[in-house]
Structure 1
Amino acid sequence: MIFFRGIVFILLNLAFARADFIAADFRTTKGDFTVSLDYVNSPLAVANFIQLAGKPDDILETPAGVPFLENAAHYAQSYYRPTIESDVARLPLRVERIESTPTMRGFYAIFQSNTYIGGVEGFALPNYHADITGEDRIRLQQVSFNPSKYRITLKYPRPWLDSRELMVKKAPMYRAIRVNRVETGIRFFSGSMTNDPLEHPGYQFQDELVRDLSNLSNPFGFPFNVAGVLAMDTLAPNRNGSRFFITSVAVPSFNGQYTAFGKVSTIPGLNVVRSIANTPSDINGTPDEEMVILDIKFRRGGITANAFMEGYHQGFLPGEIETLPLSIEQNENALELVIPLRPKSQNALYSTSDLRSYLGGTIEAQSPEQTSAERIDLTEFFGFAPKTFFRGFSTAMPTWPSREITLKKARLLLNTTSGIDRGKLNMIFNEGGTGGSYSIDMNIEQNVVGEEPRVVRSVGAGTFAATYDFSRSPYLGVLEITSFTGPLNAEQFSLHFDSSRFTNNPQVNPATLIRRFNARTTRAQLPFLSYSGVFQKIH
């Protein structure tokens, strides 16, 4: 049996060898291994990982013609000339003019999509400057008197927050970084400076849990059904940052919980992973032996893999980390810390009494509509910490996915169960998305004294009212059903629309019901204990 498993493992990896690939070569003190990165299913996690590992700069010189980047393929050609309007804030490019070169006549760029969205034409130099996603992320220079020839430089890695020193750094994070923790015989963890499970690099981004079943790196759509999976380590949904783990065995229970974005590609490499994961540790999982990931290098093969550009996907990840200008105000009744939070951002606050160790750092999201400053009463705080320093950091969100959900003329389909009872709920929203009509079709098993249980079909219909709140998280929207007419009761009925579970098809998005809701039939009150459903746009 072991022999046949080995043959299957080899055949799968031969398939990878023939296909496009992005390989991450890990060099560690316990040996080397290679991971095939799943840039198809988890492009955000892969882009973040490559940038934190310190990918070398890409320097590309365009031939004659109007330069642009299409699907990250680095070449130039003439193209249609639209203009940038509202999308300019999402342009993941930095454009600079070198003083010794003639005036640049035009620049066109692909951004935020595999299709052409916008460009810049005829801007005045040397005053033009666009830096949306980060300092020195990408630079375009004119390298000849022909205004159509340029040199493009993509700068790596992305800045990150060192939580030990509270400093924003640009050096590669995944260089000479320790294996922080092991779950003996299951997985090992790294990507953390402090081994704090709440640590983050100054930002957090969403899970990517929907699988492309045609991708060999995720057989049958269940990535953790095999050993050697590279995944983001997080304690809660949509809290990915820099921490990651690699499994040494198959752990099917991890499916749907963690973002898997790679797989160890060889059996010798998997043996290295197992030697790390099998290292003895203390009760907290700290390994008895110091193990270090020395560095991670990347290789690519194939048209699609070479066309994967981290800068493009960076446009969907949180932006640069900025220091918040904190202030303290004395009011009549309190001493307040004033935090000028930016709308549509992630923010973290730290405190220290000795400038050596810091407390706090939990990231809170600031919704697009919230513009007022946060105020914290320090009266009680200074009662036990009279000398305290504060630092705050903010990271702008390029998108707010939960805000993009619209209930206008939408359909919500739910399958519900209670024991062996089964029901189907079909909800149609009105033009304003504030409510609508529903129908429910249930098969209910009823116990009859002295006889076998029988199934009774119950059909009903009515109307409902609803509100939708996207302010709680960039990645999570909450739909509250506030009232029903007809057979349903709206008590405790809310839905979470989690962007990590969205499919690539914008017409069908899974919805997760997080609380019970009650259905009232003509005979009894029935709690629905489990559920599943989809959210569909029907216009």
Structure 2
Amino acid sequence: MVADDAGDLYSFGGFNVQVSADDGELSREPEWQKYKPLFQELWKFNWRTKRWRKLKTSGDVPDKLVSHCMCYWNGKIFMYGGTGMPYGESSSNKLTIYHIAKNYWEIVEPVSDPSRSPVEMYRHEIALFNNKLYLFGGSTSHAYYAFDEAASETVTDKVTFEVTIGDQNVGKIELGLFGKKAPRTVENFLAFAGEGVNGKKYEGSIFHRVIKDFMIQGGDVVNGDGTGSVSKFGSTFEDELPSHKHSVPGLLSMANRGPNTNGSQFFLTTVLTPWLDGKHVVFGKVLDPASMNVVREIEKTKVDRNSNKPFKTVKIVRSSVKNLAPSEQFTTDIGSQ
């Protein structure tokens, strides 16, 4: 909630746990039907009349409706971040301006490298001072999941993918691999990330399947469309289960067609995906915020609605491997066990 120069208050979004998702009175509200149980609404409180009024707005109305931050300046409301439902699993790093006089929302696109933008989070604080916007804090959902079962894993190797979307280089994804937890899976991945297997390798391959608020998938070094797969050990190899849960975004996991059908295909999660636990082998993670921002850029690319294949080719143009000496290995948090 923010106040303007006249002292009038503006409130946007929200979530009421007392309201049923099937509430009859709200069944005719299009915003409710689309975002329930959240409210995509902007309200104004007039101090002179002591009345609330729902404003009719247009433009790029934000869809992350909870735990965002807002501030007011010069007839505009600045809104940043926030999350949707499930709470904390789909967050934002977008800056949106609401022009009060025009009743219009506008997204402000950064001119800097996307990999240098803040990580998508919620519960920030925001302030304007001397024509500069300051952002502080923020949180991600995994910080609230099962502290008593917090898990960590040893990173034994690193793989770095340099990625392009169309003709644009969007940066590098640095992955840490769990060679002690899933040695055979890691050995297979390193083979394709490095020199390759029988001429087939990740360098030059594409991310053929992208699903927003779920994952990005690549590694089809045979056909490039998700129909092909091969492993260092033959056509397939067995699962190394039990593995870690898919309890945080940014985990590296094996794609498969069922039990013990691992090959070259893999995916990177962009949200919590607990329904995959026990079915797919987690064997690594994205190591840093800049790398996760590149994953988010891939996640946002437009795709064919039937195949989930990006319209612009998302390609791994370079792939490199670093085997860590015992003294270089380190532990990293991976959420809950």
Could you say which structure has the larger radius of gyration? 1
Q: Which has the higher strand share?
A: 1
TM-score interval, normalised by the smaller of the two chains: 0.3 to 0.5
Query: TM-score if structure 2 supplies the norm length?
Result: 0.48
